[in-house]
Amino acid sequence: MSEDLATKIRRQVEFYFSGLNLNRDKFMREKMSADPDGFMPIETLLTFNRLKQLTTDMKVVVDAIKKSDKLAFNDDFTKVKSNIDFRKPENNVALRTVHMRGFPTSATLDDLLEGLKPYGNIRFIEMRRFISNKEFKGSVNVEFNTKEEAEEFMKKKIMFAGVEIMEKELLADREKSFDEKNKRYKYTPDSLLQIRNIGKDTTAEALQEFLKPYMDQYSYIFRTEGDNQAVVRFATSQEAAKALNELKDKTLSDKPLKLMILRGKKANGMWTKIKSLMLSEEAAKKTSQKRENEAEEGGEKKAKTD
């Protein structure tokens, strides 16, 4: 067996048992859970397409992987597992993984492994690819053995091919951000509260201050300037109902507020408008932040040359 083939087999099997893969591979998790010691038969691995394309010989696989520092074996080398027990909460892969963006799309796995090697004890690198053409996106997930190793890596200035990789975050933080975004942009039926008789002269600031005690972190006020009505989006129907109940005896102008939960086509049409505005505001905020960052970087570079 050539060294090149041995490396490909070892990397493929290590990929199967990486935390990133096990986190989404239900079949492997079930197979490993069925074994008292959490092992997977190597014979089963040989049915997997990518490994099968490299070899169908169990002895070849064993010879290629038995010196791996990421795998553990049973006594007769017929079964294999990761040497990290992913069932333990402290070994949660999201806490041990750093997401990074900004690599050249021409980079190979060998380039990445070699380039990042000086910065930590890297367990596995997942190259993220476009679904359509499988081309490298320029972003990676870098898995470490421990949470502490990942946190230490985060503190370092990472250089690759002479360029600093600025964008990096713990995968756990990235996933939390996605969860928050999903909640922010997910529509829940009966969560839009229409409020009428707010007064045409009521400013946006005054309306915001008035409604603040009744809103949650995902609330959004939709109102055309000068309108006598507004629609407030809440995260849940329960929050909207609670606000309706607490606002029913309140006044903002000289007339009692008129309140109604929007439903059906009215609600769907209104949510389309609200979501569009929310996305536009977020895009504008990101653009503004990017310009500020570029201005700061430009100032720092100028200061260094002066």
pLDDT at 231: 95
Query: What fold is seen in the domain 186-305?
Result: Alpha-Beta Plaits (3.30.70)
Which residue matches tokens 């092992």?
39
The pLDDT value given to residue 304: 56
**CA atoms of 201 and 228, how far apart (whole Å):** 8
**Which residues, in sequence order, are CB contacts of 41 under 8 Å at separation 6+?**
31, 78, 79
Q: Which residues pair with 231 in a beta bridge?
A: 194, 222
Reply yes or no on whether the pLDDT at 112 is more than 70: yes
Confidence band, pLDDT 50/70/90 cuts, at residue 299: low
What pLDDT does 192 receive? 95
Distance CA 273, CA 108 (A): 44
pLDDT at 67: 85
Residue 287 has what pLDDT?
A: 82
pLDDT of residue 153: 95
* Level-2 CATH architecture, domain 92-184: 2-Layer Sandwich (3.30)
- What's the whole-number average pLDDT of the chain? 89
d(CA 165, CA 50): 31
Q: What mean pLDDT is predicted for residues 236-264?
A: 91
Q: Is domain 3-89 annotated with CATH 2.40.30.10?
A: no
3-state SS class at 170 = strand
Q: How many CB atoms lie within 10 A of CB 266?
A: 13
What is each CA distance from 267 to 26, 157, 257, 261, 291, in whole angstroms? 38, 48, 19, 9, 36
What integer pLDDT is reported at residue 271 of this predicted model? 92
Please determine, for residue 214, whether its predicted confidence score (pLDDT) is greater than 60.
yes
Q: Where in the chain is the domain with CATH 3.30.70.330?
A: 92-184, 186-305
Identify which has the larger pLDDT, 177 or 145: 145
Q: Where in the chain is the domain with CATH 1.10.10.10?
A: 3-89
For residue 218, the model assigns a pLDDT of: 81
Q: Are 65 and 9 a contacting pair, CB within 8 Å?
A: yes
